[in-house]
């Protein structure tokens, strides 16, 4: 299974306009692209621009969310079909920053169905809070998010395990905890599904995390905004 390195730009990325095709070669070394799959998820307005600028560079583009409906009176929302129209192949769904805003497992499941309908691969995010981890509930919480968020009839999808307390904090789960959690998720989702780790992945810890059993890639926030850091992570992955 090929490793998938995903950059989640969140609500950043004015640099999208400045990345010329050569910029992609800096951000994602050509050599690394031969061995790993690379996915960039910019804010909606930059998707088309990045798709066009990265054309024929083996870099996939994804959205950071989508609405469950195909179209209609949903001011401010974007459908999975629209993302696909703009060149996206993937969509991140159920990120903890969205779950914190009230998104439920049922919402995430509806969005995953929308992604399948549009021919996109959803990256379904799950993860426990610090309180849940300290209470010994990390595995059961993630299991319940997975069973509630993944449709029964699922096409190909990716799971991203992101402990909420590790996102943007500089704190990383221990390799032993990542190994346990990914083994647990593996039992739930089967051998064919890629399982990413996310939460403060940086050039200094990427190689160890990516070498852990059942870690098939990474979802990277902060470090994906820095070309040199992202390049170093893709090199560590390859
Ligand atoms: P981080 O974010 O790498 O900045 O911790 C990861 C994410 O939220 O996907």
Contact present, 165 and 137 (Cβ < 8 Å): no
Q: Which residues in 33-69 are b (16+ Cβ under 10 Å) and which e?
A: beebbbbbbbebebbbbbbebbeeeebbbbbbbbbbb
Mark whether 162 is an active-site residue: yes
Of all residues in the chain, what percent carry a pLDDT higher than 90?
82
Mark whether 184 is an active-site residue: no
Task: Reply yes or no on whether the pLDDT at 14 is more than 80.
Answer: no
> What integer pLDDT is reported at residue 16 of this predicted model?
67
Reported confidence tier of residue 68, pLDDT bands at 50, 70, 90: very high
Q: State the fold for domain 3-237.
A: TIM Barrel (3.20.20)
**Per the structure block, which two tokens stand in for 104?**
């439920």
Does the CB atom of residue 127 touch ligand 1 within 6 A?
no
Q: Which has the closest alpha carbon to 161: 136, 128, 130?
A: 128
Counting from 1 in the atom list of ligand 1, the atom nearest the Cα of 201 is 3
Q: How many residues are recorded in the chain?
A: 238
> What integer pLDDT is reported at residue 167 of this predicted model?
93
């Amino acid at each position: 299974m090929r490793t998938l390195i995903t950059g989640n730009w969140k609500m950043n990325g004015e640099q999208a306009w400045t990345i010329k095709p050569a910029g992609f070669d800096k951000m994602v070394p050509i050599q690394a692209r031969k061995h790993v799959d690379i996915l960039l998820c910019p804010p909606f307005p930059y998707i088309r621009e990045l798709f066009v600028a990265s054309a024929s560079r083996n870099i996939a583009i994804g959205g950071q969310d989508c609405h469950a409906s195909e179209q209609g009176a949903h001011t401010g929302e974007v459908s999975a079909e629209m993302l696909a129209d703009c060149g996206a192949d993937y969509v991140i769904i159920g990120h903890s920053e969205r779950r914190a805003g009230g998104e439920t497992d049922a919402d995430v499941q509806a969005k995953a169905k929308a992604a399948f309908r549009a021919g996109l691969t959803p990256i379904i995010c799950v993860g426990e809070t610090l309180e849940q981890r300290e209470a010994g509930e990390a595995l059961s919480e993630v299991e319940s998010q997975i069973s509630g968020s993944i449709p029964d009839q699922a096409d190909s999808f990716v799971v991203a395990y992101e402990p909420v307390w590790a996102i943007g904090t500089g704190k990383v789960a221990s390799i032993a905890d990542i190994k346990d959690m990914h083994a647990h998720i593996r039992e739930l989702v089967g051998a064919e599904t890629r399982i990413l780790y996310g939460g403060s992945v940086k050039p200094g810890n990427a190689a160890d995390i990516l070498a852990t059993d059942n870690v098939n890639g990474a979802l990277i926030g902060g470090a994906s905004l820095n070309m040199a850091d992202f390049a170093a992570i893709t090199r560590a992955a390859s």
